[in-house]
């Protein structure tokens, strides 16, 4: 079922959901004495969580990876998700609790433009809500 779920997430272009499934699968494999099998899933999940700057999930994946007997390496910062300066600004304002209308007023753009950039941020970060976005470290 884990493999089937991973296939669905990959086809739907949902990296955060795929990473969460890989983490759960890796945890399950490790707890069922399949530590070597678990490592690739845990490494992939960790990489995605680091890309998405989801610190709590990355820490959990890293802990599971260590428990499987492997130490995670540091990521190259050049591989992180690349938001444009405008996307980053809008994401930071939205995570501070502002509405699209308030962000638009502050950035001197229309609310529709804010929504456009926010959709791009959601797609690049692999999130579907403002709450999930707020959990990411946007620097």
Question: For each of the chain's 139 residues, which pLDDT tens digit applies?
Answer: 877 887 777 777 788 888 888 998 889 988 898 888 888 889 889 988 888 888 888 888 988 888 888 754 554 444 446 788 888 899 999 999 999 999 999 999 999 999 999 998 888 887 888 988 888 877 6
22: in domain: yes
Could you tell me which residues come within 8 angstroms of residue 112 by beta carbon, excluding any fewer than 6 positions away?
none
The tokens for 81 are 């998700």
Give the structural domain span for 115: 81-134
Q: How many domains does the chain have?
A: 2
Is 29 in contact with 41 (CB distance < 8 Å)? yes
Last residue of a domain, one of 53, 75, 97: 75
pLDDT at 115: 94
- This prediction's pTM: 0.52
109: in domain: yes
b/e sequence 31-41, b meaning 16+ C-beta within 10 Å: eeeebeebbeb
The tokens for 61 are 């994946």
DSSP state, residue 75 = P
139: in domain: no
Is 105 in contact with 97 (CB distance < 8 Å)? no
Residues 70 and 85 in one domain: no
Residues 88 and 26 in one domain: no
pLDDT at 76: 45
pLDDT at 139: 66
Residues 67 and 24 in one domain: yes
Residues 8 and 70 in one domain: yes
pLDDT at 90: 93
Residues 60 and 98 in one domain: no
Residues 54 and 10 in one domain: yes
């Amino acid at each position: 079922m884990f493999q089937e779920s991973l296939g669905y997430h990959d086809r739907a272009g949902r990296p955060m959901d795929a990473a969460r499934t890989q983490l759960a699968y890796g945890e399950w494999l490790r707890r069922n004495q399949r530590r070597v099998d678990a490592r690739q899933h845990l490494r992939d999940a960790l990489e995605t969580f680091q890309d998405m700057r989801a610190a709590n999930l990355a820490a959990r994946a890293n802990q599971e990876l260590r428990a499987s007997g492997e130490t995670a390496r540091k990521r190259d910062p050049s591989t992180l998700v690349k938001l444009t300066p405008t996307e980053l600004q809008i994401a930071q304002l939205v995570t501070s609790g502002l509405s699209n209308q308030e962000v638009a007023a502050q950035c001197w753009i229309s609310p529709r433009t804010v929504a456009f950039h926010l959709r791009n941020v959601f797609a690049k970060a692999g999130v579907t809500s403002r709450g999930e976005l707020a959990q990411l470290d946007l620097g």
